[in-house]
Amino acid sequence: MTERSSEPRIVVTSQDLERLRNVIDSTGDSRSLAASESLDAELARAIVVEPVQVSPDVVTMNSRVVYLDEQSQQTREVTLCYPKDASVAEGRVSVLAPIGAALLGLSVGQVIEWPLPRGQHKRLRIMSVPYQPEAAGHFHL
C-alpha cells in the first residue's frame, strides 16, 4: 500500500495489536492477503497503548462507531469486528474490509480518505463511539 499524505494519527491497544497480528498471520487466500497487507500498514504506523489507557472516543476492536460518509452525507453505525464475526445484516464490519481497516484507531472528529477497489475513495468522519469495550470495562472481547 502506498503512503497516504493525509493519514490521521491512529491509536491501537496492545491487546488488539496482538490479536490483529494473529489475523494477519493466518490469512491465506489472495483477496484476504491484500486486505491483510493494508491492515498491517495501518498497524505499523499506530500508537500502541494499554487497553486501560485508550481514550473512550477511539475506535477499537468490537467498538460501535458512527461515521459520516462525506461524499454521500450518509451516517452509518457499525460494529468493527474480526473477520469471523462479520455480518452485513447485523452491521458488523470486518477489520479486513476496506471501511473496517479505515475506522480502526481513529477518534471522534478525525477524517480519513481511504482507497476502495477500482480506484475509488471514501472520505469518512468519525462522529461518535457509542460503545467501546475498553471504556465499558469489557477487556475480554
**Residue 49 clears pLDDT 90, i.e. is over it:** yes
Predicted pLDDT at 38: 82
In a domain, 71, yes or no: yes
Residue 72 falls within a domain, yes or no? Answer: yes
Task: Please report whether residue 36 resides in a domain.
Answer: yes
* 109 in any annotated domain: yes
**3-19 pLDDT, tens digit each:** 344 577 899 999 999 99
Q: What is the pTM of this model?
A: 0.88
Q: What backbone phi and psi angles, to 5 degrees, belong to 3?
A: -70, 135
Task: Check pLDDT > 80 for residue 23.
Answer: yes
* pLDDT tens for each residue of 55-78: 999 999 999 999 999 999 999 999
The answer to the question of residue 73 being in a domain is: yes
Can you give the pLDDT at residue 33?
76
Quote the pLDDT of residue 104.
95
- The answer as to whether 4 is a domain residue is no
Q: Is 2 inside any structural domain?
A: no
Contacts 24+ apart (CB under 8 A), 20-29: 20/61, 20/95, 23/82, 23/83, 23/95, 23/96, 27/96
Domain of 119 in residue numbering reads as 11-131
* pLDDT digit string, tens, across residues 75-116: 999 999 999 999 999 999 999 988 898 899 999 999 988 776
Q: What's the pLDDT score for residue 29?
A: 62
CATH label of the domain that carries residue 31:
3.10.50.30
Tally the domains of the chain.
1
- The answer to whether position 3 is within a domain reads no
d(CA 65, CA 129): 4
